[in-house]
Amino acid sequence: MTEPWWKSAVVYQIYPRSFADTDGDGVGDLEGIRHRLDHLAWLGVDALWLSPVYRSPMADFGYDISDFCAIDPLFGSLDDFDHLLADAHALGIKLILDWVPNHTSDQHPWFVDSRSARDAPKRDWYVWRDRLPGGKPPNNWVASFAPEPTWTHDPTTDQSYLHLFLPEQPDLNWGNPEVEAAMHDVLRFWLDRGVDGFRADVVHCIGKDATLPDDPPEVAGLPHSVLHDEPLTHDLLRRIRTLLDSYPGERMMVGEVYLLDIDRMATYYGDGDELNLSFNFLPVHSPWDAATWRDHLARTEQALAHRGGWPTWVLSNHDVPRHRTRYSGWPNEPADAPRTEARARAAAVLLLTARGTPFLYQGEELGLLDADVPPDRVVDPGGRDGCRAPIPWSADERHGWGAPGDAEPWLPFPPEAETRNVATERADPSSILHLYRRLLAVRRGSEALRLGDEALLDAPAPVIAFRRTAGDDVCTVLINTSGETHEVSLDGPHQVVVSSDAVPAEPGAYTGVVGPDQALVLRPA
């Protein structure tokens, strides 16, 4: 039996505002992505995930949607979208869209109707409740971004509406079958256009018990969105899966199930009848440390294996500081010190060889750090501007963003953009960009790395060591998270297939040691 494409794919996340701009307004657009598909094809990724490009007032930069079936003019048009999809498919690249089922914008016509009167036709499409005595919010849930209640009182009808995120992002009431039907129609609209799947935003939050019980006091300070784990959601996911499976071509959904407990997260795979994939966010909140990662590898296998679930791996995305930034800051070490790049290179080896579907975030292939965003340029209510800085395409002053006289990009560039840009790194075979490309090529050519079993190996404490096996194809991976050299003896001679720190002129024999911050992919000689 052949495995579905999304098991062996490498998915590349595009944050469209910051990828590439063609109309000179300082904000990226769909045509920008289309013009840069050659970079992605050259790199060798299999699929793209676009963060939201729908019509939006941009209170949360597109995660507040006022029309699920229209492209925001800032990004282009539906024609531009169709053109991008066709060109990506022509290159053999799949395309998945961000689908935001938990909430809409407060400007969405559904909410405009809902808030207009208690007996409005769409009143029940959102979650409205009376305040408690003394004007207190209906429950103790805490919103994301700011430690505020998840409720905003609306004087028009003297009731409060629920929003797990900003007040501009009212939560939909999926308990109402009309909402479920309308959101299924949104999926169909894009599936009919030919998209290959969806990344489902905070999808664990969609099912809500109508009693909306308080969070327990011991966790009551945490945002409710990281706690919400409601059995009703599983029924909704099964019906979404049925819809996806009714289309030809293995359409898929990867869920953003932001629960920092892998066993709970794993339940969202159902019995193979809910999400196809679910993000595993523990590594995003972990230090670069071998013991921690060995634990993640082992626990991920344990949590998913009995369900037949397939793991995912992610180091960076548009919501957290980039991993090169996170892995810096050791005492007296500036963020741009050589070791932070060495760690980012070793982490790339881990991300692209561990068993599961890897998700890259635009710019990590360049080894980007977060931008330093001065207070007068901060725009995100969630403090995430640094990792959303524009991608530098070239060494010149504008780094590929418009012509002299055009608008400045909406955020400052990341540090080192004069050298850390696509053109400069493409011209340098020793760059981290070429390392990513080599890893992707080796992965593509190896059944063991794409789909094989994984077994942890004994190694010195600071070294993560594992073996991937599919029939005769065997790859051994050694990742040294320390600044010292370590010996790792293997059974029999091995050949280096990829080294994180070298230009592989001639792949050499494995010498029995793994250098400081080095990662190696090996094959039996």
Q: Which is nearer to ligand GLC, 256 or 364 (CB)?
A: 256
Residue nearest to ligand GLC (CB): 63
CA angle in degrees (0–180, nearest 5) for 517-520-525: 150
Q: Which is nearer to ligand GLC, 202 or 477 (CB)?
A: 202
Considering the complex, what minimum distance in angstroms separates the CB of residue 4 from ligand GLC? 24
Half-sphere exposure at residue 253, Cβ-oriented, CA atoms within 13 angstroms: 31
Considering the complex, what minimum distance in angstroms separates the CB of residue 162 from ligand GLC? 14
Phi-psi region of 501 (alpha: psi -120 to 50; beta: other; left: phi over 0): alpha
User: Is residue 319 part of the contact set for ligand GLC (CB under 6 A)?
Assistant: yes
Number of residues that bind ligand GLC (CB under 6 A): 10
- Single out the catalytic residue among 29, 72, 106, 201: 201
Considering the complex, what minimum distance in angstroms separates the CB of residue 507 from ligand GLC? 39
Here the tokens at position 295 are: 């634990």
Q: How far apart are CA 355 and CA 466, in angstroms?
A: 10
Among 165, 190, 293, 359, binds ligand GLC (CB under 6 A): 165
Burial class (CB in 10 A: 0-12, 13-18, 19+), 511: exposed
Nearest to 286 by CA among 313, 264, 265, 266: 313
Considering the complex, what minimum distance in angstroms separates the CB of residue 400 from ligand GLC? 25
Q: Which is nearer to ligand GLC, 169 or 300 (CB)?
A: 169
Q: Which is nearer to ligand GLC, 106 or 201 (CB)?
A: 201
Considering the complex, what minimum distance in angstroms separates the CB of residue 136 from ligand GLC? 25
* Main-chain phi, psi angles of 260, to 5 degrees: -85, 35
Q: Which residues of 451-460 are buried (b: 16+ CB within 10 A; e: fewer)?
A: ebebeeeebe
Q: Which is nearer to ligand GLC, 362 or 499 (CB)?
A: 362
Among 60, 80, 180, 196, binds ligand GLC (CB under 6 A): 60
Among 6, 63, 128, 327, binds ligand GLC (CB under 6 A): 63
Helix axes 338-353 and 432-444, enclosed angle (nearest 10): 10
Q: Determine the residue type at 474.
A: V
256 is catalytic: yes
Q: Which is nearer to ligand GLC, 281 or 510 (CB)?
A: 281
User: Is residue 202 part of the contact set for ligand GLC (CB under 6 A)?
Assistant: yes
Beta-strand (E) ranges in 8-150?
Answer: 11-14, 47-50, 54-55, 67-71, 94-99, 128-129
User: Is residue 100 part of the contact set for ligand GLC (CB under 6 A)?
Assistant: yes
Q: How far apart are CA 139 and CA 214, in angstroms?
A: 5
Q: Which is nearer to ligand GLC, 190 or 293 (CB)?
A: 190
Find all residues with CB under 8 Å of 74, minimum gap 6, and list them: 25, 27, 29, 58
Considering the complex, what minimum distance in angstroms separates the CB of residue 376 from ligand GLC? 22
Nearest to 465 by CA among 507, 518, 501: 518
**In the range 236-295, which residues lie near ligand GLC by CB under 6 A?**
256
Here the tokens at position 322 are: 């980039």
Considering the complex, what minimum distance in angstroms separates the CB of residue 12 from ligand GLC? 16
Q: Which is nearer to ligand GLC, 29 or 60 (CB)?
A: 60
Considering the complex, what minimum distance in angstroms separates the CB of residue 165 from ligand GLC? 4
Nearest to 412 by CA among 396, 440, 392, 393: 392
Q: Which residue has the tokens 């994984």?
A: 454
Q: How far apart are CA 134 and CA 441, in angstroms?
A: 63
Q: How far apart are CA 339 and CA 350, in angstroms?
A: 16
Here the tokens at position 133 are: 């005595």
For the chain, count helices (H), then strands (E): 14, 20
484 is catalytic: no
Residues in the chain: 525
- Single out the catalytic residue among 21, 72, 256, 385: 256
Q: Which is nearer to ligand GLC, 63 or 68 (CB)?
A: 63
Residues 357-386: x where in contact with ligand GLC by CB under 6 A, - otherwise, as a string: -------------------------x----
DSSP string of 442-463?
HHHT-HHHHH-EEEE----TTE
Q: How far apart are CA 227 and CA 261, in angstroms?
A: 10
SS3 21: coil
**In the range 466-495, which residues lie near ligand GLC by CB under 6 A?**
none
Considering the complex, what minimum distance in angstroms separates the CB of residue 415 from ligand GLC? 23
Site residues, ligand GLC (CB under 6 A): 60, 63, 100, 165, 201-202, 256, 318-319, 382
**Residues with catalytic annotation?**
201, 256
